[in-house]
Amino acid sequence: MSSPGSVPPAAAASRASSSTPRPYPGSASASRRFRGTIEPGPREATIAARHQIRPLAPAAADDDAIVTALTGLVNEVYAESEKGLWADGAVRTTERELAGLVRAGEIAVARLDGRITGCVRVHRLDPATSEFGLLAADPRHRGLGVGRELVRFAERRARAQGAGRMRLELLVPRERPHPSKEFLAAWYGRLGYVVAGKGTMEDSHPHLAPLLATPCDVMIYEKDLRAGTPIDDLAARLREFAADREWEPFHTPKNLAMAVAGEAGELLAEFQWLTPEESAAVMTDPAAGARVRGELADVMTYLVRLADTLGVDLIQAAHAKLDESERRYDPETYRGTARKAPPLP
C-alpha cells in the first residue's frame, strides 16, 4: 500500500500545504481515466488529521510538564463527564498517581502536531485479560475520533501482549440516569463491549468511595479480542502502516475514494477488451492472473482504509445492503434478468 498518490511524505506535506489544488498523482493509466485533486475541504482535512498514539517511555514520569499536562487533561475530562457524581474538590487522579502509571509503562498518549490530545491506561489484570481506563480526549478535539483511536490502540496492545479479553469499568449513578454515562454505555456497545458484571466503588476502589456525592455502581464491560474479523485485522495493520509513515494527513476520505476509483479503473483495464470467455479464463494465464490479484488487492486495500477512516463497518454495511437487495429482488420476479428494481417504499 502507498499513500494515495504514491508520493513521499515530505512531498505530500508540501502539496497538502499548498493553496492550489493539484492533479491526483496516481499511476499513468489511472490518471488518464480519472482526474481529481488531493486538496481536502476544511471538514475533510480535520477528519484526516489522525492522531499519533504511542506509549510513554517510563522515563517520562520524571518530565513534570508531561505529567502535569496529562493530569490536567484527565481531571478536566472526568470533571465534565462525571459531573454531579463526586464531592466538590474531588479529582480523578493526581500527578503522583499518574507519574507512577507512566513509570510502570501503562500510559499511552495521542498527539496531533506535537500537542497531547488524549491518553489511555492499559494494563494486565491476569494472563488472559487486559483493562483500559483513564480514557481522556481533549474536548478541543472532540468529534475527531481520538477516543475511538485510543481504544483501538489499547486493544492492539492487549492482543500483542497475549490477552484475549479486554475489560473496562464505567461508573454510573444508582438512583438517576446520567446523560454522559448513557452516551458512553451506548458508545462502548458500538465498539463491541458488553456488560459482564456489576460492582461497587467500595469493593473496587475503596480509597475513592468516600469522595462520591451520590451512590454509584461500577459497571464492568468486556470484549472478546479474539472475535475480530479478517477485515478488522487488515484495517488495524493498514492503520499502523500509515501511522508509521506519517501518511494519515493524506488519507482523507476524498483521497482514499479517489484511490479506490483509480485502482478499480486499473482492474477494469485487465478485462475491458476481453470476450466473456476470455475474461472467465483470465486466471489461467499466470501473468494476467498475477496482475488481476494485484489490482484486486489494491482496490481492497484502499476500500478497507476508507471505511476505517470513516468508521464504517464494511461487513455490517454489506449485510445491510444485501438484506435490502433480498427484499427488492424477489427470486420469482427477477430470476434470469438484469432489470433494476424500484426503490423500496
> How far apart (Å, rounded) are the C-alpha atoms in residues 253 and 235?
15
pTM: 0.59
Q: Is the dihedral of CA 201, 207, 208, 211 positive or negative?
A: positive
The tens digit of pLDDT for each residue in 144-190 reads 788 988 998 999 899 888 899 999 999 999 989 999 999 999 999 88
pLDDT of residue 14: 34
Here the cell at position 262 is 483509480
Instruction: Show the domains of the chain with their CATH numbers.
Output: 9-48+230-334 (1.10.287.1080), 52-227 (3.40.630.30)
pLDDT of residue 23: 29
Average pLDDT estimate for 202-219: 90
Tell whether the model's pLDDT for residue 45 goes beyond 60.
no
Of 177 and 345, more confident: 177
